[in-house]
Amino acid sequence: MPDEIIYKEGQRFQFQITNKLVLPGTDEANFILLGPDQKKYLLPEQYYENYHLKVGQTITCTIDKVNCSGKIFLEPDHPYYKIGERYDFLVLRLAEQENFLGRTQLIAWVRDLHGLEWSCPIDKAEDIEPGYSYLACRVERIKKGELILSLPAMTNRFTSLKAGVIYSFKLQDIKTFENEEFYVLKDTIGNFHRLPLLHYIHYGFKPGQNLEAMVVKYKPNGECVIEPVHPFYKIGESYSFKYSSLQKTVDLFGRVEAVITVIDLFGQEIRVKPQTWQTQLDTYNPETINCLVQNFRKGRPVLVNIEENK
């Protein structure tokens, strides 16, 4: 048995397709993948029909997401398109959509080599003739087989703030866009950004105030994802969190999956992965659990359970 592998988002590993399985009570077909840790994982077939995946094949997958309970979500390599590379796509039609500031955003709908259609934000329509023109789009991301495209020249004009850096913003206003309330933030350069109100209402932000926030990443349309500095917790520091529950479930392969729920300073439920010794106890009901703040996501701390077995 190989050593336990701690999967992290963005890592790439080879998996072998060993079988197919239809989930009980559904008609959803899944490939069963055997990972480098000799554990089995499910990959929904419906998103990857054009990948021509077959039992017995070895494929490379990116760890797309690891949720708070340790569940792994995989994204197999596209048979042709590679993330970060540019490709020529035929433009099928042009469209307009309104952005969060009420301004018009141009969209080009393009066709890939499988005949599937994807959208790509553009800043001008001159010299683009649908049905004849091609756009050199960059593949920013592939999720569930869907291509997320951008125009590098357009994106670069908006990415004046660097990802991973904390900047000062002024909270200008609160608006509603596509049935979602959000804060309008203005950076020191004069660009506007949005921040979902729902995820940060407990921070107590008010229009007119200044706040510190980190630029997490950029979307293909040039918008940046922003995570405000938490008013209490700090990355790399450990804190005691109120214990709520430990839940265990058994997956389709007979593995016991467990998750601990703790309560943060604002009363929010945060799920963390338990340690093996915590799941093996007949009863486990501590008052608090010591956790390390690893990151923040949508106003919630991402925690690592560092409780010691006493």
244 plus 301 within the same structural domain: yes
Residue 185: which CATH number? 2.40.50
| Segment 177-202, tens digit of pLDDT | 888 899 999 998 888 899 999 999 99
The answer to whether the beta carbons of residues 272 and 264 sit under 8 Å apart is: no
Answer whether residue 1 shows pLDDT above 60.
no
Per the domain annotation, does 93 fall within a domain?
Answer: yes
Q: Where are the alpha helices (DSSP H) in 39-183?
A: 152-158
Domain end (from 158, 189, 209): 158
> Considering the chain, what is the average pLDDT of its residues?
89
CA–CA distance, 266 with 153 (Å, rounded to integer): 42
Per the domain annotation, does 101 fall within a domain?
Answer: yes
pLDDT value at position 156? 54
pLDDT average, residue stretch 302-310: 89
Answer whether residue 69 shows pLDDT above 50.
yes
Domain that holds residue 44: 12-76
Confidence class for position 162, pLDDT limits 50, 70, 90: confident
Domain end (from 76, 94, 124): 76
The answer to whether the beta carbons of residues 133 and 127 sit under 8 Å apart is: yes
175 plus 122 within the same structural domain: no
pLDDT value at position 167? 94
Per the domain annotation, does 50 fall within a domain?
Answer: yes
Domain count of the chain?
4
Q: What's the predicted TM-score (pTM) here?
A: 0.78
Strand segments, DSSP code E, in the chain are 12-22, 29-34, 40-44, 58-66, 72-76, 86-98, 104-111, 117-122, 134-143, 146-150, 166-177, 180-187, 192-196, 210-218, 224-228, 238-250, 256-263, 269-272, 288-297, 300-305
